Amino acid sequence: MSAAKKIRPRERDAILQSLGAGIVPRIGQQHIQVGRVNEVSALVGDLDRIAEDGSAIRFVIGEYGSGKTFFLQLIRTVALEKRLVTAHADLTPDRRLHATGGQARNLYAELMRNLATRSKPEGGAMQSIVERFVSSAIGEAKRNGIPTQNVIDQRLGALHELVGGYDFAQVVAAYCQGHESSNEQLQSDAIRWLRGEFSTKTDARQALGVRTIVDDANVYDHLKLFARFVRLADYSGLFICLDELVNLYKLPNSQARKSNYEQILRILNDTLTGGDGIGFLMGGTPDFLMDTRKGLYSYEALQSRLAENKFAREGIVDYSGPVLRLANLGPEDLFVLLQNIRVVHASGDPEAHAIPDEGIAAFMEHCSERVGEAHFRTPRNSVKAFVDLLAVTDQNPGLSWSDLVGKVELETEENPDLAPLDPDSGDDSGSDDELASFRL
What is the mean pLDDT for each group of 10 consecutive residues in the chain (440 residues)? Answer: 67 85 74 78 93 94 79 91 96 95 96 95 93 92 89 91 93 92 95 95 95 95 95 95 95 95 95 88 94 95 87 72 81 84 86 86 81 59 83 82 68 39 37 40
SS3 of residue 240 by DSSP? strand
Strand partners, 59: 282, 323
**What's residue 108's pLDDT?**
97
Instruction: Flag whether 212 is in a domain.
Output: yes
Distance CA 172, CA 388 (A): 49
Residue 34, exposed/middle/buried by CB under 10 A (0-12, 13-18, 19+)?
buried
The reply to whether 427 falls in a domain is no
CB neighbourhood size of 125 (10 A): 25
Q: How far apart are CA 437 and CA 70, in angstroms?
A: 5
**pLDDT value of residue 422:** 37
Do the beta carbons of residue 228 and residue 158 sit within 8 Å?
A: yes
107 burial class (0-12, 13-18, 19+ CB within 10 angstroms)?
A: buried
Q: Among residues 308, 325, 342, which one ends one of the domains?
A: 325
Residues 86 and 228 in one domain: yes
Same domain, 31 and 44: no
292 in the same domain as 256: yes
Last residue of a domain, one of 325, 340, 373: 325
Are 320 and 359 contained in the same domain? no
Last residue of a domain, one of 302, 325, 348: 325
Q: Quote the distance between the C-alpha of residue 129 and its chain's center.
A: 19
Q: Using alpha carbons only, give the angle 413, 355, 5 rounded to the nearest 5 degrees.
A: 110
- Asked if residue 423 is part of any domain, the answer here is no
Asked whether residue 304 falls in the same domain as residue 197, the answer is yes
Q: What share of the chain is helix, strand, coil (3-state, %, to 5)?
A: 55, 10, 35
**d(Cα 180, Cα 178) in Å, to the nearest integer?**
6
Evaluate whether 213 touches 201 at the Cβ level (below 8 Å).
Answer: yes
**Residues 341, 280: one domain?**
no
Q: What is the dihedral of CA 43, 44, 45, 47, to 10 degrees?
A: 90
Domain presence at residue 421 = no
- Measured between alpha carbons, how far is 263 from 258 in angstroms, rounded to an integer? 9
Q: For the chain, what is the domain count?
A: 2
Structural domain includes residue 343: yes
Residue 420 covered by a domain: no
- Asked if residue 164 and residue 224 are part of one domain, the reply reads yes
Do β-strands 238-243 and 85-90 pair in parallel, antiparallel, or remain unpaired? parallel
Q: How high is the pLDDT of residue 371?
A: 61
Structural domain boundaries enclosing 29? 1-36+328-414+434-440
Q: Which amino acid, residue 168?
A: F
- State whether 242 and 352 are in the same domain: no
Do 351 and 333 share a structural domain? Answer: yes
Residue 402, Cβ density class (10 Å: 0-12 exposed, 13-18 middle, ≥19 buried): exposed
Rounded-to-integer distance, Cα 102 and Cα 401, Å: 53
Rg of the chain's alpha carbons, rounded to an integer? 24
Q: What is the Cα–Cα distance from 159 to 116, expressed in whole angstroms?
A: 22
Beta-carbon count within 10 A of 54 CB? 17
| CA 326 – CA 46 distance, rounded (Å) | 17
- 3-state class of 63 per DSSP? coil
Residues 311 and 339 in one domain: no
Contacts 24+ apart (CB under 8 A), 16-23: 16/341, 16/344, 16/345, 16/387, 16/390, 16/391, 19/341, 19/383, 19/384, 19/387, 19/435, 20/384, 20/387, 20/388, 20/391, 21/384, 22/380, 22/381, 22/384, 22/433, 22/434, 22/435, 23/433, 23/435
Q: Is residue 314 part of a domain?
A: yes
**Closest-CA residue to 19 (of 340, 417, 333):** 340
Does 361 lie in the same domain as 274? no
Distances (CA, A) of 405 to 6, 363, 391, 402: 28, 6, 13, 6
Residues 145 and 80 both lie in one domain: yes
Looking at the domain assignment, is residue 424 inside a domain? no
